[in-house]
Amino acid sequence: MSPTAPDGSPASLLHRIHGEVADLTRRMSIVSGDVATLESLLAESAPAPADAPTPTPTAAQPMSSPQQPAAPNPTSPPAPPFVAPPAAAPHAAFAAPPFVAPPLAAAPFAGAPFVAAPFAAPPAPPFVTAPAGPPPFPPGGRPYPVGLPPAPRPYTPPPPRPSMSERIAAATERGLVGTVLAIAGVAVTLTGVVFLLVLAAQAGLLRPEIRVAGGALLAAILFGAGLLLGRRDGKRTAAGAVIATGVTTALFDVLAATAIYHWFPGYVAVIVAAVIAAGGLAVAHAWNSQALGLMVGVALIVFSPFLSGGPNILLVGFLLAYSAATMWIQLRRNWTALYAVNTVAVALPLIAVALTAPAGDGALFVVAALVNVLLALGSSVVLMRWSTRALLLALFSVVPLLPLLAATGIVGAVVATVALSAVTLLLASLAVGGGQLHPSITVACRTVWLTASAATAAAALGSSLHGTGVIVGIAGVGLVVAVASCFGASLDAPIALTLRIIGLLFTGAAILATLPSGALQMLFVSSIGIADQAMLLAAAVLSLVAAGVLVWSWSQGRAATDQQIFAILGGLITLFLVTEICVFLGGLISGGSTGGIRGGHAAATIVWVLAAAAGLLWARRLHGNARGMTITVSLAVIAAAIAKLFLFDLAALDGVFRVIAFIVVGLLLLSLGAAYAQSLGSPDNRGVGPQTHGPQMHGPQAQTPQPRSPQTW
């Protein structure tokens, strides 16, 4: 059997089948020789005819000797060699032995060895890699026939597109048409109710009592008809639309009686609206129909401003009562859309009120805005237990913060700052400890609240501070957040990362804000007010501390190379802030004089060189890339200090400050040169080049690094 290729390609399969056929041919040739031998033996043992002469054996020819084979034909293939069996007794019947299947290349009879003809199988075709073409195995998994290309797939024409009437019929079967018609009916009916309550009053049609009573009667009829229709499950969609129309009509009736006819005070309308909403929409909870609540909420957003006379505090209270009363129907329901609609329904009129800034509504506005924030956050925390879209709930829960951002124009800076600060603390508390309330409050939700707290903190600073005071406040918030980010081990990783990002943004904003507020003027020896100098100095100090804390926080848990990069970046920022601190401090000490500012510049140049010297000395303890990077940055700082000394200080400084700056910087550079010259000639560095003294060491001992002496420098 010929060997086969190790792979399962069609060529190897053909090669294996060819070997099997050659082996079968050899076996058949052996069986054919055995049959011919048996036939000749049987022919010799048959009795001769009576008239046939009996051959007389001679000495030269035995009686039982078989007939000699004829001479071979040169054109015919050679016959296999045959060895005659032992001679039988004369004139005796030949009894053939039982046939036993011989093994391959074995004698057919015992005692008579049989030598099979040698068989040479034809040479197998060479194994050739299949040419590029269709894959050996189609997507169905069965191989293609060997030597045949895959049969082309029959062309299947695309199904005909259904006509418009067929699509409408299919939508009707699915109930879509009924839903669309029900929603259209709700919109049209409520539009008619608004016309009844508003336009009829403007035109003087019917008495007010008839309009209000007619609206209440229509609401009761629609609600009852919806309950009767909804007894069958197949009619629940239409029944929900009817009930939604009835509940909305009743709410419109109460709002019109309060805002247009002034029959009830505002708090009575709020209480009645809450009762109607809580009782009417109980059907939505019982039927598990979010669509019913959505139709009522959307209708209130669209039509209620026409009944209340525009966005005002009455409308805000009315919608706030509706939103609070319908919160319970969302319990144990995954109704994210209804929560979003109810939250937006209150936030939109609050934003409009904040923009219009009506007089006399400041206190009510702040109370309504804070209650809306508490309701939205509390509802989101509770509903996250059954929601599969907790992140969406968190995103919509911060929408009520938008009206508070514009509260300064209504209630003043103090009240707005207190409200925004309280909301900031609430959001930060939920962001840090919300995971302990319930596992459904995910890290993503807490990250949203933490980001929102940063926005409200910035708004609180903007409403309470002005000018350079805002910069100090921003720097202070950046420092607080930076310190909070250092407790990353007790916080979730995304929360700690968000704190670092917020701290970086606040600190960076404070540093950049100092430039146009007077830092650039001071850098060019231009005096500004003492108060502004003090504020900028405080902002620079806070930013310096926050930068150091952030560098440490960002470096935790990172590789040594990353820590080195953070340290270098922090060092450069520190140099800039130290320059500002020196200049501002010199101006304050001198009472804002030009001489004090110049002295600050001289001190800043000296600090630059001192920082570079510290970096060079620190680099002697480092190895590899960290050492090279530290030396490079330190030398760059020295180059910048020398450039500042000759290009700026030489022209800006005068008198003793110029002398002090040049002498101190020169002495520092000389000290650094001596220190590094000593380090190059220290015992630790003598073995770097070719040794000129002492025995030469070869082999592994020459490659072993020697420990550094702690007293090298």
CA atoms of 31 and 101, how far apart (whole Å):
9
Residue 155 pLDDT: 67
**Is the pLDDT assigned to residue 676 strictly greater than 90?**
no
pLDDT digits (tens, 9 = 90+) for 650-663: 777 777 777 888 88
pLDDT, greater one: 454 or 156: 454
> Can you read off the two tokens belonging to residue 633?
């940055």
Q: Are 403 and 350 in contact (CB under 8 A)?
A: yes
Is the model's pLDDT at 96 over the cut of 80?
no
- In angstroms, the CA 116 to CA 137 distance is 43
Q: Quick count: other Cβ atoms within 10 Å of Cβ 560?
A: 13
Q: Which of 93, 308, 346, 117 is nearest to 197 (CA)?
A: 308
Rounded CA-CA distance 342/329 in Å is 12
pLDDT(438) > 90: no
3-state SS string over 38-83? HHHHHHHCCCCCCCCCCCCCCCCCCCCCCCCCCCCCCCCCCCCCCC
pLDDT of residue 545: 93
What is the model's pLDDT at position 148?
53
Cβ within 8 Å of residue 633, ≥6 positions away: 568, 571, 572, 615
Lowest mean pLDDT of 47-56, 145-154, 162-171, 373-382, name the range.
47-56
pLDDT tens string 297-316: 999 999 999 998 888 899 99
Q: Model confidence at 253, in pLDDT bands (50, 70, 90)?
A: very high
State residue 209's pLDDT score: 85
Backbone angles phi, psi at 112, to 5 degrees: -120, 95
Give the residue-averaged pLDDT of 239-260: 92
Return the CA Rg of the chain. Answer: 51
pLDDT digits (tens, 9 = 90+) for 462-516: 888 888 889 999 999 999 999 988 876 567 788 888 899 999 999 999 999 888 8
For residue 305, give the amino acid letter. Answer: P
Residue 667: what pLDDT? 87
More confident residue, 46 or 398: 398
Task: State mean pLDDT over 539-552.
Answer: 91
Supply the mean pLDDT for the chain.
77
* Cβ(24)–Cβ(32) below 8 Å: no
CA distance 485 to 554: 9
pLDDT value of residue 48: 52
Q: State the chain's maximal CA–CA distance in angstroms.
A: 162
Distances in Å between the Cα of 146 and the Cα atoms of 18, 97, 128, 136 are 13, 47, 14, 9
Residue for token pair 């055995």: 34
Tallying the residues shown for the chain, one arrives at 713
Q: Report the distance separating Cα 398 and Cα 99, nearest Å.
A: 100
Phi, psi angle pair for 109, to nearest 5°: -130, 150
Average pLDDT of the residues in 393-417: 90
Q: What pLDDT shows up at residue 345?
A: 94
Sign of CA dihedral 105, 108, 114, 120: negative
> 368-372, 445-449, 686-690: which has the minimum mean pLDDT?
686-690
Q: Give the DSSP per-residue string, 416-442.
A: HHHHHHHHHHHHHHHHHHGGGT-TTS-
Helices first, then strands: H and E counts in the chain: 28, 0
What the block records as the tokens of 423 is: 């909301």
In the predicted structure, residue 521 carries a pLDDT above the cut 70: yes
